[in-house]
Structure 1
Amino acid sequence: MNLDRPVSPDPYTLLPAVPSFTVTSTDVTDGAPLKDDQVAAHGNTSPQLSWSGAPEGTKSYVVTCFDPDAPTPSGFWHWVLVDLPASVTSLDTGAAAGDLPEGAFHVRNDGGETGFMGAAPPEGDQVHRYFFVVHAVGEESLGVDASASPAVVSFNLAFKTLGRAVISGTYQH
């Protein structure tokens, strides 16, 4: 099967503009290949993330990892963590597999599991980009539950995001 296709646009430039703030990681270097820990076949471990400078009025966060380069019209959601309290401004390496702060929960990723699914592009496909995004939300709850799809979470974020912090890594199999 031939997977030749154009490179997808940065999905976050297609959303309503919101202020940006800072996200950093000891595991992800912006624009560089992911470490083996963040690859499904080698570690499948969520990366460390820290953020600062969220807009005033932030009451919670949603943390996502999205691959717009998957060979589907809708990309691929690798991680969707919802209703993280505003007092939380970092996640340790592997936090997606551990206990979450009270009130926070995962919705299923596109692999059908809760938590983080590492990079797993088709062998021989183009370089994939993995956008790790911290969304600052102006409400304590996004208003969805754990049965929501990543698309429903993203739809709600379009109306409730006060700011967005983005860091991305790449991977090619």
Structure 2
Amino acid sequence: MLRRPNAPVSRTTRGVLTAAAVAMLLTACSPTPNPSRSPEPAESVPTATAAPEAPVYDPAGTAEANLPVFTAVTQQVWASEQRASGRAYIDALVAVGFDRALMQVTPDETTVGNAVESLQFSVRWGDAHCLVGQVGPSTGEPVTAVMAQLAEGRCLVGATRPIDW
């Protein structure tokens, strides 16, 4: 709707225009910050930054409660030069307290002697769960999870190798 040049302005329109004019005046009159002036330095108080605590193995805990330590161990081995060795994952898990007798690991090499695309390892937890890890070029970063146990207390599908060291 267009306003006729000599038509009276409504009270609402006049109020809105007045408020806008006041806001523009206040903005124009407010001091601008001086970018060249640096703030006063605060008194330096040394603060103690505690490193986050590493997860700890709990043999009485649940599989879910022990997943963080399983994951941390997996990531540590993955970051090492032993990343393609199933034995390295098993040995590192044993070193923090997991029971070697409850573990499974897949072979490091294919049947023709090539490095596997994916290496899996697991720890059976109680009668119902498994902590499962998977690493390799096909996975990118390590993957860990709590999974349901398979038949006969197994955690991994397919061929696994003996953990006889």
Give the TM-score, by structure 1 length. Answer: 0.26
Greater per-residue helix proportion: 2
Q: Which has the higher contact order (CA 8 A, sep 6+)?
A: 1
Specify the structure having the higher radius of gyration (Cα): 2
Structure with bigger strand share is: 1
Length-normalised TM-score, structure 2: 0.26
